[in-house]
Structure 1
Amino acid sequence: MAVRWVPALVVAALWWWAVLRMALVPGQTGFVEGAMVAGGWGLSLLPVHVASAAAARRESATKRPTRAWRRRRSDAGSDPS
């Protein structure tokens, strides 16, 4: 399980390095830092807009329709019983 996290942590550390470098010394940053920052930001938007068709089918199959429930109106008066 740790093997999966190591590459993610390395990429995250490199992204933060590029962000801090662009923020603290913008005159010395180059194309690589800019590409890393822009790519990381764009990648963060990806899961919001992209889902596999199988996952969408699986999600829609688990949702059940709900039945509407009508509330009694408060000005309808009380029940005569």
Structure 2
Amino acid sequence: MARPIVRWGAALGFGALWWWAVLRLALAPDAGVLEAGVAAGGWGLSLLPVHCVPKARAVGAVDPRRWARAWRAGRTGRVAAAATTASPRRRSDAGSMPW
């Protein structure tokens, strides 16, 4: 029960501090670097993504073991069959014009 209370208290405290800095910057002629730093820092935090989930739970995330298998296959020389499904490269004498 204490965790949500602490989180809400911290959020409200930091929110009040940010609003104090913004209002002081807007209204007080003697506002300085401290207020500007607090206001810019709070605005920068608002740009962080808040809808993040762990990679294991993300929809469409690639399993990290897949990358490890591909890396090991590349180091042992089995690259063509194990790590890639790319098209074969064109020969240099194949030409590039359609006629």
Q: If the TM-score is normalised by the length of the shorter chain, which range does it land in?
A: 0.5 to 0.7
List, as ranges, runs of 4+ consecutive aligned residues in structure 1 with deviation greater than 6 Å.
none
Aligned equivalent of 2:11, options 8, 11, 27? 8
TM-score, with normalisation over the residues of structure 2?
0.50
Letter in 2 for 1:36: V
Aligned-pair identity (%): 53
* Unaligned runs of at least 5 residues, structure 2: 61-99
| Residue in 2 that maps onto 1:35 | 37
Q: Give 1:26-65 correspondences, 5 Å limit.
A: 27-47=29-49, 51=52, 55-60=54-59
Letter in 1 for 2:5: A
Q: CA deviation at 1:39?
A: 0.2
CA RMSD between the two structures: 2.4
Q: Please state which structure has a larger fraction of its residues in helix.
A: 1
Query: Which of the two has higher C-alpha Rg?
Result: 2
TM-score, with normalisation over the residues of structure 1?
0.60
Letter in 2 for 1:59: A
